[in-house]
Chains A and B, each alone.
Chain A
Amino acid sequence: MRASVGVAAASAAMVVLLTGCGGGGPQSGGDSKLTGDKIVLGVLNDQSGAYSELSGKNSVKAVEMAIADFKAKYGDKAITKNISVETADHQNKPDVANSKAQEMYDRKGVDAILDVPTSSAALKVADVAKEKKKLYFNIGAATTDLTGKSCNKYTFHYAYDTYMLAHGTGTVTTQQVGKNWYILYPNYAFGQDMEKSFSAAITAAGGQVVGKDGAPFPNTSGDYSSFLLKAPTLNPKPQVLGTMQAGAELVNVVKQYNEFKLRDKGVGLAVGLMFITDIHSLTPAALAGTTYTDAWYWNFDQQNREWADRFQKETGTRPSFAHAANYSAAMQYLEAVQAAGTDDADAVVKNLEGKEINDLFLRNGKIRAEDHRVVHDAYLAQVKPQAEVTEPWDYVKILKTIPAAEAFRAPSPDCKM
Chain B
Amino acid sequence: MSGFLQNTFNGLVSGAFYALLALGLAVIFGMLRVVNFAHGAFYMLGAFGAYVLLSEAGVPFWAALVIMPVALGLLGMLLERAVIHRLTRLDPLYNFLLTFGLTLILQDLVKSRYGIQSSPYATPAELSGTVDFGLFDFPTYRVFILGFTVLLCVAVWWVLGRTRVGMVVRAATERPELTRAFGIDVGKWVTPVFGFGIALAGLAGVLAAPMRAVNPLMGADLIIVVFAVVVIGGLGSIFGSVAAGFGIGLIQAWGEAYLSDFPIVSQTVVFVVMAAVLLWRPAGLFGREEAPA
Which residues of A does B touch, CB under 8 Å? 48-50, 52-54, 187, 213-216, 218, 220-223, 225-227, 229-230, 233, 247-249, 251-252, 255-256, 259-261, 277-278, 280-283, 285-286
Q: Are B212 and A259 in contact (CB under 8 A)?
A: no
Output the nearest chain B residue to A277 by Cβ-Cβ distance: B117
Q: Are B139 and A260 in contact (CB under 8 A)?
A: yes
Which 4 pairs from chain A and chain B are nearest by CB?
A251-B213, A226-B257, A248-B213, A225-B10
Q: Which residues in B have their C-beta under 8 angstroms from that of A229? A: 3, 6-7, 10, 257
A249 to B118 alpha-carbon distance, docked (Å):
10
A-B contact pairs, 9 of them (CB 8 A): A214-B263, A216-B266, A220-B222, A221-B225, A223-B13, A248-B217, A255-B210, A261-B130, A281-B117
For the complex formed, measure the closest distance between the CB of B101 and the CB atoms of chain A, giving whole angstroms: 17
For the complex formed, measure the closest distance between the CB of B262 and the CB atoms of chain A, giving whole angstroms: 11
Q: Which residues in B have their C-beta under 8 angstroms from that of A220? A: 221-222, 224-225
For the complex formed, measure the closest distance between the CB of A194 and the CB atoms of chain B, giving whole angstroms: 16
Of A225, A233, A281, most buried by chain B (CB within 10 Å of CB) is A225
Of B115, B118, B266, most buried by chain A (CB within 10 Å of CB) is B118
A332 to B212 alpha-carbon distance, docked (Å):
41
Besides the known contacts A213-B260, A280-B117, 17 further A-B residue pairs in the complex with CB atoms under 8 A apart:
A48-B111, A50-B116, A52-B115, A54-B117, A187-B267, A220-B221, A220-B224, A221-B222, A225-B13, A225-B253, A233-B3, A247-B118, A248-B217, A252-B212, A259-B211, A261-B130, A280-B120
Of B119, B212, B215, most buried by chain A (CB within 10 Å of CB) is B212
A249 to B218 alpha-carbon distance, docked (Å):
10
Partner of B267, one of A216, A223, A255, A280: A216
Q: Which residues in A have their C-beta under 8 angstroms from that of B267? A: 187, 216
Given the known interface contacts A229-B3, A259-B139, A261-B130, the answer about A222 and B222 at a Cβ–Cβ threshold of 8 Å is yes
For the complex formed, measure the closest distance between the CB of B221 and the CB atoms of chain A, giving whole angstroms: 5
Q: Which residues in A have their C-beta under 8 angstroms from that of B256? A: 215-216, 223, 226-227
Residue B14 CB within 8 A of the other chain: yes
Residue B159 CB within 8 A of the other chain: no
Q: Which residues in A have their C-beta under 8 angstroms from that of B13? A: 223, 225
For the complex formed, measure the closest distance between the CB of B144 and the CB atoms of chain A, giving whole angstroms: 12
Q: Which residues in A have their C-beta under 8 angstroms from that of B142? A: 259
Q: Are A226 and B253 in contact (CB under 8 A)?
A: yes
Q: Beta-carbon contacts of B115-128 to A below 8 Å, as 1s and 0s?
A: 11111101100000
A220 to B116 alpha-carbon distance, docked (Å):
17
Q: Which residues in B have their C-beta under 8 angstroms from that of A54? A: 117
Residues 105-137 of B contacting A (Cβ, < 8 Å): 111, 115-120, 122-123, 130
Q: Which residues in B have their C-beta under 8 angstroms from that of A48? A: 111, 116
For the complex formed, measure the closest distance between the CB of A56 and the CB atoms of chain B, giving whole angstroms: 9
Q: Are B7 and A255 in contact (CB under 8 A)?
A: no
A227 to B261 alpha-carbon distance, docked (Å):
12
Q: Which residues in B have their C-beta under 8 angstroms from that of A259? A: 123, 139, 141-142, 211
